[in-house]
Amino acid sequence: MPEFDVRYYCNVCGAGQTETVDIPPAPKMIQREVTCEKCGDKTHLILTSCPNCGRTFKLFVSDLDFVGEIQQLSNTYVRLIAQIRDSLADFVKEFSVPVPRRWSVRLSCSCGHDYDAEIPLRQI
């Protein structure tokens, strides 16, 4: 896994800090929680690197646990569909609802390569 120095500036106080992070190549993504050394504010960083050149990375900043939120919404959706399916079992022989396998984002690298990074979602 490529290792990068990630420089982050706090959204609250502006203090900068650098961390060395192993960032997986896309389509994998990792999430790191960064705590500002000056004010204690916590921010989530979502990171992935170019699978072609391995020399660049993409960074998404969120105050929310974005990966957790996406997966929680996916779990709720899957449970709801399963409950509907189960409640219709006496009336409907076949019940099928397409469920996305992943949340993905299309990215471009300075090396000219376009690629997708993704977060896997729960399946029925």
Burial of 117 (0-12, 13-18, 19+ CB in 10 A): buried
- For the full predicted model, state whether its pTM sits above 0.85: no
Q: What is the CA radius of gyration of the chain?
A: 19
Domain boundaries, the chain: 3-120
Which sign, positive or negative, has the C-alpha torsion 92, 123, 52, 16?
Answer: positive
Q: Are 52 and 109 in contact (CB under 8 A)?
A: yes
Residue 105's alpha-carbon distances to 13, 16, 19, 46, 114, in angstroms, are 30, 27, 24, 12, 11
**pLDDT per position as a tens digit, 61-120:** 888 888 888 889 999 999 999 999 999 999 988 888 888 889 899 999 999 999 999 988
With the C-alpha atoms ordered 46, 67, 100, 102, is the resulting torsion angle positive or negative? positive
Q: What is the pLDDT of residues 6-24, one digit of tens each?
A: 998 998 999 999 999 999 9
